Structure 1
Amino acid sequence: MSSRKLSSSASQPSRLQGLCALIGLAVILGVIGTLARAVVVEVRPPDLIVQAESVRRGAGGWVMDVTVVNRGDLTAAAVEVEGVSGSETAKATLDYVPGHGSKGAALVFTGDERPRAALRVLGWSSP
């Protein structure tokens, strides 16, 4: 009799097996949904802006800390930033700025007066 009970209970899935099957189904549906969204949604190219954070006195003159913000989806590589204050120009290059991320840089101005620089991104490349 005990062998009959074992064979009949072994043919039915346990609650743990059912739970594992539901978790597996949820993972598969999540992956399919993510892939479907990636196909339908348009990816935005890098959209970079530069913001001045602070200006401080340094050994070589004035140091302007700036932040480059990427409002696009894709990463921008070799980002060149320029600041112009009067007749002086300062430049910096960032290795990359990730999509929906930001990176900091420092521009050094050697003049005596505190710089009021006009900032801009000169360009970038695709990684």
Structure 2
Amino acid sequence: MLITTAAAVSLISTALAVPTAAHAAADASPAQHSRVAAGEVGPASLQCNLNLIMCFWTFPDYRSLDNEVQKSLLVPSGLCRRITTGVSDLSTSFWNRTGATQRVWSEANCTGQNFLVHTGVRIPRSPFPVRSVGGV
């Protein structure tokens, strides 16, 4: 599938339309977001099928161009890892399967807006684009 840069930017801009009120979201807790049921089947489950990783998708609802998913191992406390999801290097949906709480950030160097994502929690629509993940 051939896609121009302008088309990719247009797709990403459309997918990233999120309400501004969501920018004040508190830490993501299992009660606030979906926790995965044992044996659940679906695109996210098939693409993020390993424990001890965190998966990131460019678009909401676990979608990316060409179904690419960025997988990251647990980021230890005090460290930062930039998200590389292909065209945009940002994520708007993710799933923490690392076994530990991780903090997602709006900027690539673990700065800006942030919130905690507890283990086992899936975020289908982040309140802001995420560009890095850090350990807690």
Q: TM-score, normalised by structure 2?
A: 0.25
TM-score w.r.t. the length of structure 1 is: 0.26
The structure showing larger relative contact order (alpha-carbon pairs under 8 Å, at least 6 residues apart) is 2
Structure with greater helix percent? 1
Structure of larger gyration radius: 1
